[in-house]
Structure 1
């Protein structure tokens, strides 16, 4: 099956069918510890099994999920599923959480769906747009200015190390606060990217690299006419280590800010 409109309809049906179970499970406790400050609930596992079975049965396309993995994503066609995005929010009874689903062809997201049952919002798009919210098409993103925009910002621990150290994230947040005092930390990459695609946010700074977190939202922002790169301005791919997504104009200002911060860190290192 290759017709994207038909596949998008099937994906919508699958997520609609799982939405009531998603809502019933809000507040589910941690069941599987996956690392520091990272866990899955029993509902994560249940929803991924249910959705994966249905998508495979109805489309013949395999699923790569957060909890159980799946086919590699650089070639061929696969669904990419995050059954519960914003798991800590979900487990705490916070409404900012959702289900993320993308269709990836040769490593490129061509369908993106972000279902937010707690908010009654369903975002869906295919490559080329438009983005639909609850079945109604949204206008394409207009060029904007960072000073007028709300920006979604990823969570962090200031003492964290790794690919993008916590202190860099903290300093980046400080630099952003000078240019836009309207930062929002939702605790859900899916929400940050869907709200960027819809124009609620002017942009989103995402430090995570997992395809199940990013692919659906990247598809939405691109379909809306937004700009998507990594934090260094390179075109986003399924292997990218971060996401910088924003409306035209806002993206350029965000990238300039990030480059200034990278240069400042480099200059400080040279002085030591």
Structure 2
């Protein structure tokens, strides 16, 4: 990996997220824009993205920006932004949503900041520097038995191909519920990954990997000692099919259930 001052860039990321936080602190969701079947973006999604993008383009013009709502850089070193991860929760007034900003460098996520305005928590990490919540170090779960595990799963798909896409998701749910302590679906990948990083969840499985949803959380979880993998057990990258974060001791039994669900 070529030289990159991740400590300084993490400071930039935190300042950029502060710009987005100012928007969410002062604005209601406003008008909704449809993005397909039961999917939408609010006025705040667009406003946060524009505020964060403008800050990053000013402070780090050498680094591209990819945002969920307005696109942008798809290669090279780039920031990846989800202005409101958990928009459905946000527009319903549920507090489980966050501003998620990650940094990809040479095909790997190397830093991330996820801020939960309604929960009062900010998670941050950069490669080699550890992970924090509100400035205090965090560590992933030490769960050793699947029967003790609290496992988060990603949302079910919507849209014209939802039935096909959801077959594996439903299969995994059927395999998990008799074997783990409980299953949770909270509607925000960013929050789920931070909660694995903090040890609140013992594992998280998503059958998708959109970079704005996952990259910041992947960086935070890894720095907290969590394994973050693709669905086949290989190392997670921005091009992975899915996102699997897990306490190391339950990696194998969880991978076995994912393999059964996807076979």
- Is the structural similarity TM-score above 0.5? yes
Q: Which residue of 2 aligns with 1:156?
A: 156
Match of 1:87 in 2: 87
Within 5 Å, give how 1:16-165 maps onto structure 2: 16-26=18-28, 28-60=29-61, 61-73=63-75, 76-139=76-139, 141-142=141-142, 144-156=144-156, 161=161, 165=165
Partner Cα distance (1:56, 1:68) in 2: 14
For residues 11 and 159 of structure 1, the distance between their equivalents in structure 2, rounded to whole angstroms, comes to 33
Counterpart residue number, 2:195: 195
Alpha-carbon shift at residue 62 of structure 1 (Å): 2.0
Q: Structure 2 CA distance, aligned partners of 1:159 and 1:211?
A: 20
Which deviates more, 152-161 or 203-212?
Answer: 152-161
Native 8 Å contact 1:158 1:169 kept in 2: no
CA distance in 2, matches of 1:38, 1:210: 15
- State the TM-score, normalized to the length of structure 2: 0.91
- Partners in 2 of 1:202 and 1:228 — Cα distance? 12
Unaligned runs of 5+ in 1: 264-272
Deviation at 1:39, TM superposition (A): 1.1
Supply the distance in 2 between the matched residues of 1:83 and 1:158 (Cα, whole angstroms): 21
Cα separation, 1, equivalents of 2:38 and 2:240: 22
Mapping for residues 146-225 of structure 1, pairs under 5 Å = 146-156=146-156, 161=161, 165-225=165-225
1:266 alignment counterpart: none
> SS at the partner of 1:119?
coil
1:254 aligns with 2:254: yes
Counterpart-to-counterpart distance in 1, 2:66 and 2:159: 32
1:238 aligns with 2:202: no
The equivalent of 1:267 in structure 2 is none
Q: Which runs of 5+ in 2 are unaligned?
A: none
The answer to whether the Cα contact below 8 Å between 2:13 and 2:112 also exists between their aligned partners in 1 is: no
1:4 is the counterpart of 2:15: no
For residues 7-28 of structure 1, what are the alpha-carbon distances to aligned partners after superposition, in whole Å with 9 as ceiling and x for unaligned?
Answer: 11121122123213213335x1
Q: Give the match for residue 13 of structure 1.
A: 15
Cα distance in 1, alignment partners of residues 183 and 139 from structure 2: 23
Equivalent-residue separation in structure 1 for 2:222 and 2:133 (angstroms): 15
Query: Residues 219-250 of structure 1, C-alpha deviation per residue, up to 9 Å, x if partnerless?
Result: 11111111111222222111112111111022
Contact 2:37 2:159 in 1 (8 A): no
Matched residue count? 260
Deviation above 6 Å: which 4+ runs of structure 1?
A: none
